Structure 1
Amino acid sequence: MIDTEKLIGISSRDAFGLTLADLAQNDPRIVALTADLAASVRLADMIKIAPERVFNFGIAEQDMMGAAAGLALSGKIPFVTTFAVFASLRAAEQARTDIAYNSLPVRICASHGGFGLAVGGATHHALEDIAIYRNMPGMTVIVPADGVEASAAVRAVMDLPGPSYIRLSRPTEPTVYTTYEPFAIGKARRVTTGKDLTFIAYGGSVGYSLNAAELLKADGIHAGVVDMATIKPLDIDAVLEAAKNSSAIMTVEEHNIIGGLGTAVAEVLAEAGVAIPFKRHGIYDHFTTAAPYPELLALYKMDANGIAGTAREFLKKH
């Protein structure tokens, strides 16, 4: 096991690289596949430990998915790595048909999720990936909040009998967890409670929502935060509990508001017949621009100030 101190304050992609190498030391079945992005997806430690178990396919993500399916059928434990935009768009058909359709235990670990590639612009921002992967039957979809949770999530998918998609971040997320706990797939974590509003978020948005909740205290608004790191299977009980214990719900995600966490939570509330003020906050169905990451967070109101301001406007209407 990795010392938890090494996981605090690093990005989820960095935590993934450390954890994969740690697992590979003790399990010769683990193989890593990359599409000419070994450094960016943090495979350097894995290459040092077992270079013969790291396969570079060049810019051929579709071939990489097919090869991962074959490796899984041969008894290997494949971890597929690339940028989230390529894993979800360029190689979607192969992930669906070669991997998900055959219920193969391939771990797709995609870095640079959301608009983490920042100055790369809309072509390299992944704001549709959650919607795409949660629509694949049998696919587990996870977005950890920080480096500590990312390490736990990577260990957790080792035991999954079917496919999984883990979205990782290039920028370092705000620290949410300072102690290591085993990751429970399909179970949300209530980080804080609040009677006026509950933020339900994943990834770096969990930390930014926590910061937003602190800002809202100055207005006398008590906001809680639920870390919905597993988007599929969604923790339905956690959603209904949030609706029961607070007066409003707002989802927060670095993703198009269509098809992602906001849609998943709305489906739960609608099917349960729960009448509660509800808002989806994220990218409002448009292509993003190119800029440094902090500027994008501010522009799209995904930083603490933006989330808090959006929450204030939402609550005023209700």
Structure 2
Amino acid sequence: MTSAAAERTAPAHRTPPEQSTREAYRDLLAALLPDDEQLVCLDSDTGLFNGVDFGSAAERYINLGIAEQNLMGVAAALGREGRVPFVNTMAAFASSRAVEAVKLDIALNDLPVRIVATHAGLSAGHLGSTHHCLEDLAVMRLLPNMTVLVPADAAAAREMIRQCADLPGPVYVRLGRHAGPTLPAGTQPPRIGRAQKLRDGRDVVLVAAGPHPVALALDAADDLARSGIAACVLNMHTIKPFDSAALLGAAHGARGVVTVEEHWRAGGLGSLVAETLSGTTNPPRIHRIGVGDHFVSGNGDQQHLLGEAGITKEAVVAAARQFEN
């Protein structure tokens, strides 16, 4: 055993979810638009803004219909003219159907377009594999100039939307569909570009992004503590720019690192962590938990599909315990 016993903490209390990250974003944007004439809300007939009263900013809500490539082109034109467009679509369409326009119209020109993508990961599980989005972090983090954000709960979504409103270039914000787990009570608000250390520990490091992966990492840390393993938990809500210093500091001297993500294992958070640690002397062992090299078949709710994909607390605990050998 190490000094794990001294570092154990009681399970963090998490309040019941107040609303989904997409609902938190919707309400905040509706409140921000009337006070800032630069802001424009571009929709792709998502239904998210049905019934929303934008007040004096009503003319700056524009529903372009189900035409995601056009949506990105219009956003780029508005960004070029000094506006700050918030583009609303589903993650599966933002990162695949419309990605050429995102790359050439928005990222290439370094325009201040905020792509807010809902139904990310497996949160649209009821619609089947066509609407799962397990590639967006890999796609978006590769584009130069792009900031990539993954809020872990509704409060974090509100804070990160506020912060990204003033960033100079394009931003991709990954949101879910349903209300999900919350961060522990008393967690400090996130800062773009800075990892959140949610729990201290010297034995293993659990690195997660997104509501369900972060909750699984915290729950796994509680289980590990009961068996004398102290786990550090990092919430990597900013995929790009990535807080390499926080990761390297936490991983130094640790037995290993476990990454947890609602994404294909290739190209996402786990790949990013492996890339970062590979440049160090004697890098720690890494175990990546995410969806394997396959589509998640069938319909089902998010929790069911996460379990089918092996993204569970038990998998995180088992991976961390492997480092004892």
* Other-structure match for 2:263: 255
> 1:296 Cα shift?
1.0
2:115 to 81, 99, 108: 108
* Other-structure match for 1:232: 240
Structure 2 contact 258–316 (Cα < 8 Å) conserved? no
Secondary structure of the 1:251 match is strand
* Other-structure match for 2:159: 152
Structure 2 contact 255–323 (Cα < 8 Å) conserved? no
Q: How far apart in 2 are the matches of 1:179 and 1:271? A: 35
- Asked if 1:162 corresponds to 2:169, the answer is yes
Name structure 1 gaps, 5 residues minimum: 1-5
1:61-210 equivalences under 5 Å are 61-179=68-186, 181=188, 183-204=190-211, 205-210=213-218
Structure 2 contact 16–181 (Cα < 8 Å) conserved? no
Secondary structure of the 2:252 match is helix
- Asked if 1:18 corresponds to 2:33, the answer is no
Report how many residues are paired.
Answer: 309
> 1:7 Cα shift?
10
2:311 to 284, 298, 302: 302
1:268 to 257, 276, 289: 276
Aligned AA for 1:155?
R
Structure 1 contact 196–221 (Cα < 8 Å) conserved? yes
Q: How far apart in 2 are the matches of 1:171 and 1:8? A: 10
TM-score, normalising length from structure 2? 0.89
Secondary structure of the 1:191 match is strand
* Other-structure match for 2:286: 278
- Aligned CA distance change for structure 1 residues 212 and 145 (closer, same or farther; 3 Å): same
Secondary structure of the 1:72 match is helix
> 1:256 Cα shift?
0.6
Structure 2 contact 123–301 (Cα < 8 Å) conserved? no
- Aligned CA distance change for structure 1 residues 270 and 164 (closer, same or farther; 3 Å): same
Report the more deviating stretch, 293-302 or 143-152.
293-302
* Other-structure match for 2:221: 213
2:231 to 223, 231, 237: 223
- Aligned CA distance change for structure 1 residues 44 and 192 (closer, same or farther; 3 Å): farther
- Aligned CA distance change for structure 1 residues 105 and 263 (closer, same or farther; 3 Å): same
**Amino-acid identity (%):** 41
TM-score, normalising length from structure 1? 0.91
Aligned AA for 1:70?
A
Report the more deviating stretch, 204-213 or 94-103.
204-213
Superposition RMSD in Å? 2.0
Q: How far apart in 2 are the matches of 1:296 and 1:145? A: 19
